[in-house]
Amino acid sequence: MAQRKPTNPRTAQQTKSRRRSRRRLKPWIPFAGIGLLVVIIAVIIIILVSGKGKSGNKPDPGTTPAPGETTESSAPDETTTIGEPEIISSITVGSTGDILIHPSVLAAFDYGDHHDFNGAFTYVAPYYSKLDLMVVNLEVPLVDPDDGYEYSSNPFGSPDAVAEALKNAGADVCLTANNHTYDMGSYGLHRTQRVLKEYGLDYTGTRQDESDSFILVEDVKGIKLGMICYTYETGGKSLNYIPIDYEDEEMVNTFDYENLDAFYSDARRQLAQMDELGCDLKIFYMHWGEEYEDYPRDYQTEIAQALCDMGVDVIIGGHPHVVQMFDVLKSDNGHQMLCLYSMGNELSNQRRDIMNEDDYRGYTEDGIIFILNIDKYNTGDVIISGIDAIPTWVQRDDSFEIIPLDPNKDPSEWANDEYYYGVESYNRTMGRLGDAFFDFRAEHGQADIPRELEY
């Protein structure tokens, strides 16, 4: 999200008036005309190329020459304003964290002859559905017992009904590159992609063939989003120390912490391809970091800065199973990038009462719907005009329900039965986002939302 202030460069020198003459043209005049034509074409190209930006500020109005002709000796010094740039398209893009089907989650939605996970998303579905694009981190392969693969957890293998419930809830895109992608080997890798397609869900992070691109381009109301998902490797080409078969090594979009130069080279190549595809905004989803840690590691902040310097507009992370900080990074050239280091858990059984003593604080029960507000102007500029966050909390009674903790509602209107736990979760998540989240909202004129609620 380059923070340079885009302009509408609609100024050009007025043409000089020509005298009528019956004299024969001098030999150099045709060449002068050709040179003038070349200059005009160059100016047009510059205008067209400079029309796109991702600043968080509204583009400046441009100017154009005043009407009327001038004589050869006069200089064009009058301009008129074209007018204020106008927004021609506005979209909202949401992203949320890990979908983990632990044994107790699987059992809660087992109806004997089938599984049905729709109930988990009852309260959050309206929030998914109202967004123009909704992205979810699917951290389980999808399997069919008829193929000889039983439903399980660690390694994960989950029913197709998970994909069905996500689609019904309003999800549009699944992130499929994570440390559990290869839990069911090549079978789970490829079958999951087929099932997602059957349910009309797009995905990024894996592919079926080397001819396929890892880049997912979503054209939403005329705004092109370039999206790509990466996951870290564990000891060479392996995920969770499960070796990836040779024929599948290029089917999962991985990177190696021990060879970041190769990762950066690939990232630059992917960004160049996004440019060729005409993407207005470039979003990297990173499955990275350390599980259950409160803050990103130094190596993550270094990777984030490197990606910012390359021109990435947004990083949204996952894997730690807790919400981590939001930040705005800047490059020397003025480019700015938004980074949410971790979205936490959206659906899991990582309850405080079963986690170890260090994680009894409840952070693994928390998640977030992180929302980008994106505007496109008639100048061609595309900007992130605001951000929003809907904290979520997994309520468990007889089942599992994702509860949206809407900051624009009184907590008494939330769907959770246990008021105290909902408020506690809200305060944890908003505290984790940090000052940068609220500062960005204030700088972009967004309404105040509470950082902390009273019990």
What's the CATH number where 227 sits?
3.60.21.10
pLDDT (average), residues 187-215: 98
Question: pLDDT digits over 149-194, tens only?
Answer: 999 998 999 999 999 999 999 999 999 999 999 999 999 999 999 9
Question: pLDDT digits over 283-334, tens only?
Answer: 999 999 999 999 999 999 999 999 999 999 999 999 999 999 999 999 999 9
- Taking the C-alpha atoms of residue 236 and residue 241, their distance in angstroms, rounded to an integer, is 9
Q: Check whether residue 289 and residue 224 sit in a common domain.
A: yes
What is the number of structural domains in the chain? 2
Q: Check whether residue 51 and residue 109 sit in a common domain.
A: no
Q: Check whether residue 102 and residue 60 sit in a common domain.
A: no
- Of 46, 66, 85, the position where a domain reaches its end is 85
Does residue 182 lie within any of the structural domains?
A: yes
* CA 223 to the chain's CA centroid: 13
Does residue 381 lie within any of the structural domains?
A: yes
pLDDT of residue 228: 98
The residue range of the domain holding 31 is: 1-85
Confirm if 350 and 100 have CB atoms less than 8 A apart: yes
Residues 6+ apart with CB under 8 A from 112: none
Q: Check whether residue 50 and residue 156 sit in a common domain.
A: no
Q: Check whether residue 304 and residue 344 sit in a common domain.
A: yes
In which band, very low, low, confident or very high, does the pLDDT at 54 lie, cut at 50, 70 and 90? low
Does residue 396 lie within any of the structural domains?
A: yes
Q: Check whether residue 53 and residue 147 sit in a common domain.
A: no
Does residue 288 lie within any of the structural domains?
A: yes
Q: Check whether residue 364 and residue 319 sit in a common domain.
A: yes
> How many residues are given for the chain?
455
- Taking the C-alpha atoms of residue 334 and residue 386, their distance in angstroms, rounded to an integer, is 19
Q: Check whether residue 146 and residue 46 sit in a common domain.
A: no
Does residue 102 lie within any of the structural domains?
A: yes
Q: Check whether residue 18 and residue 109 sit in a common domain.
A: no
Q: Check whether residue 274 and residue 301 sit in a common domain.
A: yes
Q: 3-state class of 351 per DSSP?
A: coil
Does residue 450 lie within any of the structural domains?
A: no
The backbone torsions φ and ψ at residue 341, rounded to the nearest 5 degrees and listed phi first, read -70, -30
Query: Encoding tokens for residue 274?
Result: 């996004």
Q: Check whether residue 261 and residue 389 sit in a common domain.
A: yes
In which band, very low, low, confident or very high, does the pLDDT at 351 lie, cut at 50, 70 and 90? confident
- Taking the C-alpha atoms of residue 191 and residue 180, their distance in angstroms, rounded to an integer, is 14
Does residue 451 lie within any of the structural domains?
A: no
pLDDT (average), residues 342-347: 97
pLDDT of residue 76: 36
In which band, very low, low, confident or very high, does the pLDDT at 26 lie, cut at 50, 70 and 90? very low
- Of 85, 116, 145, the position where a domain reaches its end is 85
pLDDT of residue 394: 94
pLDDT of residue 112: 94
Residue with tokens 């009852």: 122
- Of 28, 63, 85, the position where a domain reaches its end is 85
- Taking the C-alpha atoms of residue 288 and residue 300, their distance in angstroms, rounded to an integer, is 8
Q: What angle do CA 152, 158, 160 make, to 5 degrees?
A: 155
Q: Check whether residue 2 and residue 128 sit in a common domain.
A: no
Query: Encoding tokens for residue 81?
Result: 């304003």
- Taking the C-alpha atoms of residue 308 and residue 286, their distance in angstroms, rounded to an integer, is 13
Does residue 110 lie within any of the structural domains?
A: yes
CA distances from 288 to 46, 229, 232, 338 (A): 40, 11, 6, 16
Query: Encoding tokens for residue 417?
Result: 């039965």
